[in-house]
Amino acid sequence: MKTKISIPRFHKLALAIWARNFRVWRRLMGPMLMLHIGEPMIYLVGLGLGLGLFIGEMGEMSYLTFLASGFIASSTMMAVSMEGMYSVYTRMVTQQTYAGIMNTPVKIDDIVLGENIWCGTKGVLTSGAILLVAAIFGAVESPMSLIAIPIGFLVGITFAGLAMSISAISPGYEFFNYYFTLVITPMFMLSGVFFPISTLPEWLQSFVVILPLFHAVELIRPFVVGEIPQGWILNISVLLFYAAIGHFIAVNLIRRRLII
Amino acid sequence: MGPNGAGKTTVIKMILGLSPIDSGSLEVLGFEIPKDATTAREKIGVVPQIDNLDPEFTVEENLRIYGSYFNLKKDFLEEQIPKLLKFAELENKKDLRIQKLSGGMLRRLTIARSMVHNPELIILDEPTTGLDPQVRHALWDRLFELKNSGKTLLLTTHYMDEAQRLCDEIVIMDRGEILDRDSPRELIRKHIDGDVVEIRGANGSELEKEIDRLDIRTEKFQDQILCYTNSPLELMKFSSKYSDFSFIQRPANLEDVFLKLTGRELKE
């Protein structure tokens, strides 16, 4: 008998998993912030200030603002993808944390949902931190940019389920290189973080518009300069679609891996 | 009890609803498994074979965080934690990260953790494997304490002394089949009546022929003959005549039963 594919349950026990992760995060905050904020900060200084001198304006805003608003989305994607792959894999396989939790009334569905909500929270923390860095460099043009912080939650859960699905089928940490090199990095380069996608050949554009990061950037960037994004309903719908599909696949794959 | 591959851990996983059941039905504490497994797990404590304490946390946090997975009332949990620290004799270590604990302390903490929700049934999967004798004895004391307090303990082991000491009833299984179940004393009485005489070095000798003439059950190995008998003296009297060979007389034990039922070939 194989484990059956079914819709994940939503139960408040998921919050216990969230609380566990939050407690760990509080302890390891320093190195985490270094990775997820320090790195984009260096890019922002190098590319935004350095390259920005030659570029000047892009998409009717300073290149620094253009880049910073893109980084809010891409850094959230990076932070959450690492969480969903490395950290989840560590808890699932290396440390056997889930094996201990599964002996309690908490189900795999709750574990994955808790991880997902945690990834959303990490999205909020990351977007907030990048926004702060951007503000310090004078790249933020409107208080409306604060909306990027709650959007961070949505962007977080968008990439969480996908990353956890990869984790569920991974034989080891090295496997994550495939996802990073084949999915995350191309998405990072092509989704309008560094330049508007209108500069891409048309065939490539029609591919980019189905990528979640593109919609995350489209949703966040206008707020940073005080505008409401034109296609916000579409953007949010696409992100929710990836979040839902990702969660469904992650729950079923992790069930298949752990219930034997 | 069972050799490697007997299905001990699989049975535990089935009881918890974490392994699919191919056929038959399973009821635990009145709950139908796997249908009501989540509810059943509220009343079951588990001590896994491999410690899976949360390495990110201290001793006390491990108990507190684990308690949160049972959705316990805060007051109840706050009452439980000092009791469990005392039970595990870890009161002085409660703020240490678990990396700082010895193997015995980790086991005690794992057992304490399994009791955070005051379960009716505690399942222990090879609780003392890999521990030194002092630590094992200390753990057995703990388990006796639990047993005497009225908890049901279900434990898997391949230590005969552990089973003999702790268990009211033993199930011997191999390859997913129950071979027999009874009290330790009954199992021995039923399968191997009386004493065992172990004779070394006698294979192929005149002594072997003399033994064969007696009406007793024997098992022969490369270098050893095992004789199962109610009147060991009739064998021991050979020991003066054949003083080159080593004779050991002992009462039959659970290990004899185990090996008889599950066979002597290596299980890998």
Instruction: Give A93-102 pLDDT, tens digit per residue.
Output: 999 999 999 9
- Confidence (pLDDT) at B219: 85
- pLDDT tens column, A148-190: 999 999 999 999 999 999 999 999 999 999 999 999 999 999 9
State yes or no: pLDDT of B158 exceeds 60: yes
Q: Under an 8 A CB cutoff, do A100 and B16 touch?
A: no
- Confidence (pLDDT) at A226: 92
Helices assigned H by DSSP within chain A: 14-27, 29-33, 39-43, 52-55, 63-82, 88-89, 97-102, 108-136, 148-169, 176-179, 185-190, 202-208, 212-224, 232-258
A24 neighbors B56 (Cβ within 8 angstroms): yes
Q: What distance in Å separates residue B52's CA from the closest CA in chain A?
A: 6
Q: What distance in Å separates residue B54's CA from the closest CA in chain A?
A: 6
Q: What is the token pair recorded at A94?
A: 């290396």
Lowest mean pLDDT segment, chosen from A111-120, A148-157, B162-171, B189-198: B189-198
Q: Give the CB-side neighbour count of residue A145, counting CA atoms within 13 A.
A: 25
Which of A94, A103, A111 is most worth mutating to test chain B (most B CB atoms within 10 A of its CB)?
Answer: A103
Q: What is the token pair recorded at A174?
A: 């090295």
Q: Under an 8 A CB cutoff, do B55 and A20 touch?
A: no
**Which value, in Å, is the radius of gyration of the alpha carbons in chain A?**
19
A76 neighbors A127 (Cβ within 8 angstroms): yes
Residue of A2, A3, A103 with shortest CB distance to B46: A103
Q: In chain A, whose CA is at the least distance from the CA of B68?
A: A16
Let me know if residue A33 belongs to a domain.
yes
Q: Under an 8 A CB cutoff, do B69 and A99 touch?
A: no
Let me know if residue A88 belongs to a domain.
yes
Q: Under an 8 A CB cutoff, do B57 and A3 touch?
A: no
Confidence of residue A234 (pLDDT cuts 50, 70, 90): very high
**Host H or E run for residue B72:** none
Instruction: Please give the tally of structural domains in chain A.
Output: 1
Task: Provide, as residue numbers in chain B, all residues whose Cβ is less than 8 Å from the Cβ of A13.
Answer: 69, 71
- Confidence (pLDDT) at A54: 82
Let me know if residue A2 belongs to a domain.
no
Domains in chain B with CATH codes: 8-187 (3.40.50.300), 194-251 (3.30.70)
Taking the Cβ of residue B44 and every Cβ of chain A, the question of whether any pair is shorter than 8 Å is answered with yes
Q: Under an 8 A CB cutoff, do B52 and A13 touch?
A: no
Residue B78, phi then psi, degrees to nearest 5: -65, -30
- Confidence (pLDDT) at A1: 44
Residue B220, phi then psi, degrees to nearest 5: -115, 135
Alpha-carbon separation of residue A153 from A14, A23, A148, A191, B23 (angstroms): 16, 18, 9, 19, 44
Give the Cβ contact number of residue B243 at 10 Å.
9
Let me know if residue A46 belongs to a domain.
yes
Task: Provide, as residue numbers in chain A, all residues whose Cβ is less than 8 Å from the Cβ of B121.
Answer: none
Per-residue pLDDT, averaged over B152-180, amounts to 91
Q: What distance in Å separates residue A59's CA from the closest CA in chain B?
A: 45
ipTM over 0.95: no
Let me know if residue A3 belongs to a domain.
no
Lowest mean pLDDT segment, chosen from A33-47, A62-76, B58-72, B107-121: A33-47
Of residues A87 and B221, more confidence is placed in A87
Let me know if residue A8 belongs to a domain.
no
Let me know if residue A113 belongs to a domain.
yes
Q: In chain B, whose CA is at the least distance from the CA of A4?
A: B20
B92 neighbors B127 (Cβ within 8 angstroms): no
Percent of residues, chain B, with pLDDT higher than 70: 99
Confidence of residue B268 (pLDDT cuts 50, 70, 90): low
Determine how β-strand B121-125 pairs with β-strand B44-47.
parallel
Percent of residues, chain A, with pLDDT higher than 70: 99
State yes or no: pLDDT of A233 exceeds 80: yes
Domain extent at residue A231: 14-258
Provide the mean pLDDT of chain B. 89
Let me know if residue A243 belongs to a domain.
yes
